[in-house]
Amino acid sequence: MGEAIVVTSGKGGVGKTTTSANIGTSLALQGKKVCLVDTDIGLRNLDVVMGLENRIIYDLVDVVEKRCKIHQALVKDKRFDGLLYLLPAAQTVDKSAVKPEQMKELITELKQDYDYIIIDCPAGIEQGFQNAVAGADKAIVVTTPEVSAVRDADRIIGLLEKQRNMEAPKLVVNRIRNHMMKSGDMLDIDEITLHLSIELIGIVADDEEVIRASNHGEPIALNPNSKASIAYRNIARRILGESIPLQPLEDANKGVLTKIKKFFGVR
């Protein structure tokens, strides 16, 4: 019996989809059988980030309305040997096409075959959110070091705490810009965790590579040299129960050349 984890944030644009894709990828890299579920019905994009857009035949709504079998709708990721699948969202209908009970049923069915089900939640707190959290056992709340994102995360945590059969949510702080955090222009991590008072499961630095990788349909977690990739892999390992210290934000091991480049302002 697998575990269903919903990735949510309240506010849009903080990196829910990227986080879902990369946690899913990292878990698959660890040898777990993973199914990604895109619940942002009407506006799917997890398939684009995963580079699986062209292979979609059926979607979540087709499954829920019994137009196809669940395994027919699942898109297999060829990069992993049968370890990573995606259940895409529909684009033609809106969020009201699915009810929370139906989602619950669907996730329960998926839990039979997969170790981890990662549910990508839409922004907002309306029906789409209710659908996404309905079948989940755990939750990961994504936020960025901005006051508005933290405020929304707080609201979402309040709603998640009301859900029955759900563990206390865990926090991912995304898009950290170290220099801004140091100068006090951004909220710092301690401040955010203290304010939200939930367990921190990972921090991810703001990295242009993430955007580049997303646009190419290749989750950054596949690239072992990127800092963001290591951060996502660490989150996956923490989900698996390993205890790993947080990555230092400073680039301590940068080469002399980069230091000189930085000194002259060359990127």
Partner 1 sequence: MKNRQNVTIKGTKEGLVLHLDDSCSYEELKKELDQKLSANSRTQEERHLITVKVEIGNRYLTEGQREELKSLIRQKKNLVVDDIESNVITLEEAVRLKAETEVMTVSRIIRSGQVLEVPGDLLLIGDVNPGGRVIAGGNIFIMGVLKGIAHAGCFGNELAVIAASSMKPSQLRISDCLNRAPDTIKSNEKREMECAYIDESRQINIDRLQVLFKLRPNLNRFEGGH
> Which residue ranges make up the site for partner 1 (CB under 8 A)?
151-152, 154-155, 157-159, 161, 195, 197
Cβ 164 to partner 1 shortest distance, Å = 16
Sign of CA dihedral 93, 46, 15, 179: negative
234-253 as b/e: b if 16+ CB within 10 A: bbbbbbeeeeeeeeebeeee
Cβ 11 to partner 1 shortest distance, Å = 11
Residue whose CB is less far from partner 1, 189 or 240: 189
Residue whose CB is less far from partner 1, 196 or 204: 196
Cβ 155 to partner 1 shortest distance, Å = 4
Both structure tokens of 109: 């069915």
Cβ 159 to partner 1 shortest distance, Å = 8
Residue whose CB is less far from partner 1, 11 or 111: 11
Beta bridge partners of 199: 170
Sheet holding 3-8, edge to edge: 75-76, 84-87, 34-38, 116-120, 3-8, 138-143, 170-176, 199-205
Residue whose CB is less far from partner 1, 125 or 246: 125
Q: CA-to-CA distance for 166 and 160, rounded, in angstroms? A: 8
Give long-range contacts, CB 8 A cutoff, 24+ apart: 186-191.
186/145, 186/146, 187/145, 187/146, 187/147, 187/150, 188/145, 189/145
Cβ 206 to partner 1 shortest distance, Å = 23
Residue whose CB is less far from partner 1, 52 or 157: 157
Cβ 177 to partner 1 shortest distance, Å = 19
Residue whose CB is less far from partner 1, 33 or 195: 195
Give the list of residues 6+ apart from residue 3 with CB closer than 8 angstroms, or none: 111, 115, 116, 117, 137, 138
